[in-house]
Amino acid sequence: MKRLLIVIPMVAGLLFLAWFSIRLAGNRIYQVDECQNIYVAHLLNTGQAKTSFTAITLFIMPLMWLTRHAVASADMFIHARFFSLELFWLNIVLLTLATGEKLFSRRGLIALVGAATLAPLWDYGFEIRHDTLFLSGMLLMWCVLRVRPEGLQSYFIAGAMAVVLEFVAFKAFVYVIPISFVFLLYPPPGHKGTRAKLLAAWVIGAAVAFLLVRVGYGVTGVWDVYLQGFRNISKAAGGSGRFLPWSTLGRLPYQTPLLLALAISGLVAVAGELWRCRKAAITWDSNLPEAFLLLVALGALIINPVPYPYNLLHLVPYAYLLAWRYGDSLLKAMADRPVVCPAVVSILIFAHLVPFSSATLRHSNYSNYHQENLMRMAENMTDADKDPVYDGVGLVPARHSIHYQWFLHGLNIRSFLNGQEMPVRGMLAANPAAVIIPNYRTDWLPEEDHAYIKEKYVPLEDDFWVLGQILPSGVGTFEIIHPGRYQITAVEDSNIADTYPPPKSLKESILPGAKLPPLGATLDGAPFDGGPTELKAGVHHIECGAGVRVAVVWLGPHLDRIPRMGPADHRWLFVNWY
C-alpha cells in the first residue's frame, strides 16, 4: 500500500503532464527560430536550397520529411511541433536513464517525475529547434560512456555522436571536445579494453558517422549549401553584438530553486572533497564527472556571445544529474530520521512543484491562434508561385520571400544597417512582396525601409500589410509595382485599418457579405464601377466624383473583397523571453 500511495500519484501526474504537453505543442505561440527552421525545410523540399541564408543542419532533414506533403503553412508547423514533442519526451527518458536509475523501478519513476518537471525544458524543450536533438545526442553520449559502459561499443557510439552533433549544432564542439578528451584519457573502470582500443573504436565511429553524413548531404545536393551556411553564420557571429548570460541564468532562481540549490551544493561538496583528498577524490565513483559536465555546460553558456534563454536546455539537464546524485547522498545520510519523509515531501512541493507549475501554466496565455490566422490570410491573398510574402522571419513557409537574405537576426542585422547588404527597400523594389507581416524583427530596419513600406503598402491590421495606396480626392495616378488582382473602392469601403469602427466580435472581422457600392469612375479612360480588377505593372489613372477618396488595395487571386481583420499589435506577434 505504501508503494501504491507513492506510485499512483506519480503515474497520474505523468499522464496529466503528457496531456498538457500535447495541448501546448499544438496551441502555444511560435517563436522566430521555429519559423526559420520550417522555412528552410520547405526551401529544401521545393528545390530552393541555394536561397537558404541560414545553415542546413541535420535537424532540418526530419523536418523536410515531415513537411514534404503539407501545402498549408499551419500544417507544416503542427507536424514539426509534434516531432519536437516526441524529442521532448525522449530527452526526459534519456535524462532519467542518465541518473543511473532503472526506468521501471520506484526510484526510476521518481527520477522520471523530477526530469519531467524541469520548467526550462517546458519553455523550450518542444519548440522546433535543433537544440532538442542536440540534447538527445549529448544525453545518449553520457549514458553509453558513464552510465551503461560497454567498452568498444560505447566508444564507437560516442565517437559517432561526437561527429553527428557537429552537424546538428555548430556550438557542439564546445561540449563534445572536453567530454571526449576526459573519457578517452581516463576511461571509466566499467569499460573493457585498453585506451588504444577504446580510442580506435571512437575514431572508427567518428569516421563512419562523418562518411554517412557527407554522403547524405551529397545525395541531397546540399553539401555546398551547408558549407556556405556555415561560413555565413561564422561571419555573422564574428560581427554580432554580445551580451552577458545573467538575464538567462536569472530565470533559474524562480523557475527551479530546489534544483539550483542542490546543484550549487553539489559543486561545493565536490570542490571540498578535491581540496581535502586531492588526487584520491578524482574517481568515477564520486560526483566529480557530473560536476565536470555541468561546468562544461556553464562555461559554454558564458562564452556564448548571444546566450539566449533557450540555451538553458544545455545547462538544466546536467544540473539535474548532479543534483540527483547529491540529493540522493543527502537522503541516505538522513535515512534513519523519521522526520525526513514529510520534510522532503514539503520541500519538493513548495521548492520544486509550485515554481514548476507557476512557470509552466503561463504558456497557456500565449496562443498561436493569431499567427495561424495570419498564415491562412497570407495564403488566401497570394499565389504560391507568383506572390512573395515578407516578414524577415519565415512565418509563412508556403510562400517564397523576396531575396536570399530573407532572414533578420541579431547576427546579421548590422549588415543591413551599415550597408553591407542590399537594403530591404531595394529587395522590395526588385521583387515586391504582395504581403508584409511586420513584427519586432522588422522594427530593427532603418527608417528608410519603413518609409518605403508606408509609401507602397497599406495595413489591413497593424501586423498585416498589403500592396496598395489611398489616392487624393477626385483624381489620382498610381503605380502598380506587382501585377495581380486589386480591389478599387472608396476608402470607407476598403476595409483598410482605421477606415471603419473596430469590430465588436469575431463575426464582424470576417469577410462582409454585402456587395460593394458602385464607384462611378473611369480607370485608364474606361468606365469603372469599382471592385476587383486585374492590373498590370505600370502607371494607372483613375477619375471619380469630387470628394471621393479612392483606395487601391491588393486582393490576390482568391478573394472577392478585403476582409475586416480587426485590431492587432505587431510587437506581440512573437513574444520572446516571457
Question: Are 141 and 159 found together in one domain?
Answer: yes
- What pLDDT is stored for residue 63 in this prediction? 93
pLDDT in tens, 79-90: 999 999 999 999
Residues 229-234 have a mean pLDDT of 69
Q: Which helix (H) or strand (E) holds 45?
A: helix 32-45
- Indicate whether 237 belongs to any domain: no
pLDDT in tens, 391-412: 999 999 999 999 888 888 877 7
String of b and e for 360-377 (b: at least 16 CB within 10 Å)?
beebeeeebeebbbbbeb
Between CA 341 and CA 3 the distance in angstroms is 14
Question: Are 250 and 287 found together in one domain?
Answer: yes
Q: Which of 448, 489, 450, 447 is nearest to 470 (CA)?
A: 489
pLDDT in tens, 42-53: 988 887 766 666
- Indicate whether 284 belongs to any domain: yes
Question: Are 121 and 179 found together in one domain?
Answer: yes
- Indicate whether 504 belongs to any domain: yes
- What pLDDT is stored for residue 226 in this prediction? 81
- Indicate whether 488 belongs to any domain: yes
Residue that is last in its domain, among 365, 389, 416: 365
pLDDT bucket at 544, cuts 50 / 70 / 90: confident
Residue that is last in its domain, among 312, 330, 365: 365
pLDDT bucket at 277, cuts 50 / 70 / 90: confident
- What pLDDT is stored for residue 243 in this prediction? 85
Long-range contacts of range 241-250, CB-CB < 8 Å, 24 or more positions apart? 241/305, 241/306, 241/410, 241/414, 242/305, 242/306, 243/305, 243/306, 243/307, 244/307, 245/301, 245/302, 245/304, 245/307, 245/311, 247/309, 247/577, 248/301, 248/307, 248/308, 248/309, 248/311, 248/312, 249/301
Q: Which of 410, 360, 416, 381 is nearest to 554 (CA)?
A: 381
- What pLDDT is stored for residue 486 in this prediction? 96
Q: Which domain holds residue 77?
A: 2-231+245-365
Q: Does the pLDDT value for residue 190 go beyond 70?
A: yes
Question: Are 354 and 456 found together in one domain?
Answer: no
- Residue 366, φ and ψ in degrees, nearest 5: -125, 100
Q: Does the pLDDT value for residue 234 go beyond 70?
A: no
- Quote the cell numbers at residue 273: 572533497
Residues 498-525 have a mean pLDDT of 71
- Indicate whether 543 belongs to any domain: yes
CA angle, residues 389, 390, 396, in degrees to nearest 5? 60
Count of structural domains within the chain: 2
In single-letter form, the type of residue at position 470 comes to I
Question: Are 159 and 46 found together in one domain?
Answer: yes
In single-letter form, the type of residue at position 127 comes to E
- Indicate whether 240 belongs to any domain: no
For residue 480, the cross-strand partners are: 538
Counting residues of the chain whose pLDDT is more than 70, the rounded percentage is: 92
- Quote the cell numbers at residue 36: 526559420
- Indicate whether 236 belongs to any domain: no
Question: Are 433 and 449 found together in one domain?
Answer: yes
Residue listed under C-alpha cell 503553412: 73
Question: Are 101 and 18 found together in one domain?
Answer: yes
Question: Are 360 and 398 found together in one domain?
Answer: no
Residue that is last in its domain, among 331, 365, 399: 365
Question: Are 337 and 376 found together in one domain?
Answer: no
pLDDT bucket at 452, cuts 50 / 70 / 90: very high
Q: Which helix (H) or strand (E) holds 516?
A: none
Reduce the DSSP state of residue 524 to 3 states and report it: coil
- What pLDDT is stored for residue 372 in this prediction? 96
pLDDT in tens, 315-366: 999 999 999 999 988 877 766 665 556 666 677 788 899 999 999 999 999 9
Between CA 236 and CA 481 the distance in angstroms is 32
In single-letter form, the type of residue at position 444 comes to W
Question: Are 449 and 356 found together in one domain?
Answer: no
- Residue 135, φ and ψ in degrees, nearest 5: -65, -40
Question: Are 351 and 401 found together in one domain?
Answer: no
CB 217 within 8 A of CB 168: no
pLDDT bucket at 296, cuts 50 / 70 / 90: very high
pLDDT bucket at 555, cuts 50 / 70 / 90: very high
pLDDT in tens, 122-169: 999 999 999 999 999 999 999 999 999 999 999 999 999 999 999 999
Between CA 404 and CA 427 the distance in angstroms is 9
Counting residues of the chain whose pLDDT is more than 90, the rounded percentage is: 69
Question: Are 254 and 361 found together in one domain?
Answer: yes
pLDDT in tens, 470-479: 998 777 789 9
Q: Which of 97, 209, 278, 182 is nearest to 191 (CA)?
A: 182
Q: Which of 414, 472, 415, 462 is nearest to 440 (CA)?
A: 462
Between CA 44 and CA 51 the distance in angstroms is 9
- Indicate whether 578 belongs to any domain: no
Between CA 482 and CA 465 the distance in angstroms is 14
- Residue 477, φ and ψ in degrees, nearest 5: -115, 135
Average pLDDT of every residue of the chain: 90
